[in-house]
Copies of this chain bind each other. A is one copy, B any other.
């Protein structure tokens, strides 16, 4: 059984997020972790998986190109952080197939450009996705929330304390690996709760 044996973090409402960070190599079988994420998401009611993607900048003359470097997947209780290799390896297909699932809705913040880049640069298609800022803007009648980042969006919708996240992000370059993982978990958890709130 896939074990989320990375550090666990307590959220401001006392809930607990268990994390797992994986450096994917050609021989890594990370599919059990995806199955566990799927299972958690199905049983937690709203079938939402919050995701975020990170890019590496590569340069060719005056132009830069982007390569998918990491992926974050969050459910109510879990946060999976996958660091991708430079070269395509066959096991990445598991991730590509996971994104194509229609069982669940992939929820993200400011993902429009990401979706274009995922398709153009890697042929990855997320089939069932939701740009949560746009939905929140319509649902709440406040146009500005469409343009906010994860923390500000959560701040507007949930009005909860985000000082721990602020503290890590304001000193991002000096933050250690666990701090960054905690920030990832907090952001995932914030968006999960925004989505949950909007569904009421």
Q: Which residues of A are in contact with B by a Cβ distance under 8 Å?
A: 31, 35, 38-39, 42-43, 46-47, 52, 55, 57, 59, 61-67, 87-88, 90, 92-93, 96-97, 100, 102-105, 109-110, 113-114, 117, 121-125, 127-130, 135, 138-139, 143-144, 147-152, 166, 169-173, 198-199
Contacts and interface: CB of A to CB of B under 8 A. Distances in A.
Contacts of A46: 152
A115 to B, nearest CB: 10
Given A59-B88, A97-B57, A147 B169 contact: no
Nearest to A46: B152
A135 B143 contact: yes
Q: Give 4 nearest A-B pairs by CB, closest first.
A: A64-B123, A130-B147, A42-B170, A110-B128
Contact of A144 (B67, B127, B139): B139
A90 to B, nearest CB: 7
Contacts of A38: 169-170, 172
A64 B150 contact: no
B122 A147 contact: no
Given A38-B170, A109-B128, 14 more contacts: A31-B173, A35-B172, A38-B169, A43-B170, A59-B90, A59-B93, A62-B67, A64-B92, A64-B93, A102-B149, A103-B149, A129-B147, A130-B144, A144-B199
